[in-house]
Amino acid sequence: MTGIKLNFSPKIIFSWWHFFSKCLLLIACLFIIGIQSAFASINNDTYDGNIFVVYAGNGSLVPPKQTLAQTLAEHKPAVLAFYVEDSSDCKQYALIVSRIQEFYGRAAEIIPVSVDSILPKETYATTEPGYYYSGAVPQIVVFNQSGNVVLNKNGQVRYEEIDDRLREVFDLLPRDKSVELKRRSFNELNSEITE
């Protein structure tokens, strides 16, 4: 049996390897140029994902645990927070909504409502978020246990103003007459357990 002898000269191998490396370099450059940056910015009106997860570090707000109708039927206080994902004002306000949940999340229902999810209708029932939406974001609406609106404001409403209304709803002392609420650090909690 006679074998076939293949002659590869070093010059042919070098030119083939040179061509292959140039193709890989070109593909890598195209890949790097074609990738969009994944930087989220709180100061622009671009969509970066769920604003409560990205900017407030709180993924437990969306989707809400209950609807407004369920909350009002249970005579539980509620906070509606109207927002859109691609608004710098709403991105910044996500921190305030998260802070409301931090202090009142067990006693009141915090219901973030994406304005994009409100279906346009002629009229809305008083148990639907669309009934309270004024057309601007961010908007905050606070309900007491009877379902009455005690605060309805647009824009960057300060936490202290919302806190004052919720203190009235829960019959708590005004902020100037009560002890400031502070969270214990994780390490303080652990040291108390081990002692």
Question: Do 110 and 81 touch, CB atoms closer than 8 A?
Answer: yes
pLDDT of residue 91: 92
pLDDT of residue 28: 78
Domains of the chain: which residue ranges? 52-171
Query: Closest Cα partner for 72 from 45, 111, 102, 46?
Result: 111
Helix or strand holding residue 142 (H, E): strand 139-143
Radius of gyration over every alpha carbon of the chain, rounded to an integer in angstroms:
28
Q: Which residues contact 85 (CB under 8 A, 6 or more apart)?
A: 47, 48, 49, 50, 51, 114, 116
Q: What is the number of alpha carbons within 13 Å of residue 89 lying toward its C-beta?
A: 14
pLDDT of residue 192: 53
pLDDT of residue 59: 83
pLDDT of residue 120: 92
Phi, psi of 82 (to 5 degrees): -85, 135
pLDDT of residue 6: 54
pLDDT of residue 136: 93
pLDDT of residue 169: 94
pLDDT of residue 69: 95
Query: Closest Cα partner for 41 from 32, 29, 51?
Result: 51
pLDDT of residue 13: 52
Per CATH, the homologous superfamily of domain 52-171 is Glutaredoxin (3.40.30.10)
pLDDT of residue 104: 93
**pTM (whole model) above 0.75:** no
Residue segments in the chain with a per-residue pLDDT below the cut of 50: none
